[in-house]
């Protein structure tokens, strides 16, 4: 895996070993950032189910002001920290907790994000908790990007689908406030 564009373009990044983490492919990541490009420069980004941190690292490389990485797996957290050190990226906070717990904490704290990246395990089909908190952390003109299995067409109450695209076995759905 590598950073696609920005100040760290071409640099490789670490991913945790094993099958517990499914890093977003370079192709999907490139297409996602082509869609959200106008929202990245100077953005406050929340990366839920961060895994290796590839999505948030890409955002930092492309000029995001800051990224909060939320990841529960110890090995994945170590990979994110290694990647941040290797790439010498600043403006990052790594929070080791379950994604929905982290999302609820951010909502309760009243924090807002310009871009929220959500890449849960594809088996996740209950989007109710996500829909409960995501609109509260999304800035008024912000975007939320949700990755899912290609056959899943996610809906999040309180948010409208801006666009949805399939890339092989992955569906990327971009949401905004209604």
**Residue 84, domain member (yes or no):** yes
**Token output for 155:** 């809906």
The answer to whether position 139 is within a domain reads yes
Whether residue 23 contacts residue 51, with contact meaning beta carbons closer than 8 Å, is answered with yes
Given this model, what pLDDT does residue 16 score? 78
The pLDDT of residue 116 = 98
For residues 165 and 148, is the Cβ–Cβ distance under 8 A? no
Q: Give the other-Cβ count within 10 Å of 133's Cβ.
A: 18
CATH number at residue 99: 3.40.50.150
In the structure encoding, which two tokens stand for residue 82, read together? 């290694």
In a domain, 40, yes or no: yes
pLDDT at 23: 65
Task: State how many domains the chain has.
Answer: 1
Range of the domain at 114: 26-177
- Rounded to whole angstroms, how far apart are CA atoms 15 and 116? 21
The pLDDT value given to residue 139 = 97
Sheet holding 159-167, edge to edge: 92-96, 66-71, 44-48, 113-118, 138-149, 170-177, 159-167
**Domain membership flag for residue 145:** yes
**pLDDT, position 145:** 97
Cα separation of 11 and 89, whole Å? 12
| Nearest CA among 36, 49, 35 for reference residue 142 | 36
Q: If the chain, 178 residues long, is cut into consecutive pieces of 10 residues, what is the mean pLDDT of each piece?
A: 84 74 75 93 97 94 97 94 93 96 96 96 81 96 95 92 94 95
Question: Does 56 reside within a domain?
Answer: yes
Residue 18 pLDDT: 56
Res 129: pLDDT: 86
Residue 19 lies in a domain: no
On whether the CB atoms of residues 42 and 65 are closer than 8 A, the answer is yes
> Residue 5 has what pLDDT?
87
Residue 97 lies in a domain: yes
Please check whether residue 14 lies inside any domain of the structure. no
């Amino acid at each position: 895996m590598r950073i696609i564009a920005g100040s760290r373009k071409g640099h490789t990044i670490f991913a945790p070993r094993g099958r517990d983490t499914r890093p977003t492919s370079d192709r999907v990541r490139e297409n996602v950032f082509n869609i959200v490009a106008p929202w990245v420069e100077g953005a406050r980004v929340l990366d839920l189910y961060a895994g290796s941190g590839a999505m948030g690292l890409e955002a930092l490389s492309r000029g995001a002001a800051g990224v909060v990485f939320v990841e529960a797996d110890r090995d994945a957290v170590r990979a994110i920290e290694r990647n941040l050190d290797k790439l010498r990226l600043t403006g990052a906070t790594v929070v080791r907790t379950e994604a929905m717990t982290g999302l609820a904490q951010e909502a309760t704290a009243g924090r807002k994000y310009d871009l929220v990246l959500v890449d849960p395990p594809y088996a996740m089909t209950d989007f109710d908790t996500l829909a409960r908190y995501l609109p509260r952390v999304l800035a008024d003109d912000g975007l939320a990007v949700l990755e899912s299995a290609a056959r899943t067409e996610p809906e999040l109450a309180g948010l409208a689908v801006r666009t949805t695209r399939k890339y092989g076995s992955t569906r990327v759905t971009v949401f905004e406030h209604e």
